[in-house]
Amino acid sequence: MSHTEHSPPPGVLQRRGFVSRIAGAGAAFAALWVPGRASGQRPGVGGDTAQSKGPLVRHEQDAWLDALNGMHRQVYDVVTPEGAIGIAFARNFLTANVDGYGLADKDVSVVVSLRHSGIAYAFSDALWTQYGLGDAFDVREPGGQAPLDRNPQVATIVALQKRGVVFTVCGMALRRRAGEAAQRTGKSADTMRDEWRRGLIPGIVEVVAGVIAVNRAQERGFSYVYAG
């Protein structure tokens, strides 16, 4: 069948249909896109940034985070004794920002989460000696078999606290490991837990759980580093 002089050939009709579909898809995308906001992100509350949907929910148990408002924020997750390198990473993060960027310590917020068997580093030398924490947590002399009778990270932790680094200890892990020590010594679990709490390095914050501390820090814009 021949086409009239007003009817475009079939190829033209196909191209027009394709262009119309593309234009329609673009319009639909534009309707969904909100300038300045990445998918899955939402504006921070009180200057915070978080990679989650919905408003940031505040809990009284997380008030220890309220003062950490540095322009750069990082949390180090220390899960095992071998993860002590995360404490050194925290120091390097501070120092590099100061030396390399001309910032002050107050411009950088750092959290070190001590959880699972990494909580060993949260305790004083006295508690290590009294309850043999080097043996209990399998922390030994470098290149040797003898367990340490003191916490090798105390001096570094105290120095970093003076620079504004916040160290947290997992309350769930503390309760469990103190309970194990109570069984070995015949003391009650409550008595032992109180002793271990008093044996924390001053300034270390006991949180409900280490995994929650890491989560809450990330919700407030802290980047995450797994130290081991």
Share of the chain above pLDDT 70, in %: 76
Spatial distance between the Cα atoms of 60 and 64, rounded to a whole number of angstroms: 9
* pLDDT for 13 beyond 70: no
Out of 3.40.50.2300, 3.40.50.300, 3.40.1260.10, 3.30.1330.60, which CATH number does the structure's domain 60-226 have? 3.40.1260.10
Q: What does the domain layout of the chain look like in residue ranges?
A: 1-33, 60-226
* pLDDT for 48 beyond 70: no
Q: List 77's β-bridge partners, or say none.
A: 113, 226
* pLDDT for 171 beyond 90: yes
Average pLDDT, stretch 104-122? 97
Name the residue among 113, 77, 75 with its Cα closest to residue 227.
77
Name the residue among 136, 140, 205, 125 with its Cα closest to residue 177.
136
Q: With contact defined as beta carbons under 8 Å apart, do 123 and 167 qualify?
A: no
DSSP state of 53: S
DSSP state of 123: B
Spatial distance between the Cα atoms of 221 and 31, rounded to a whole number of angstroms: 28
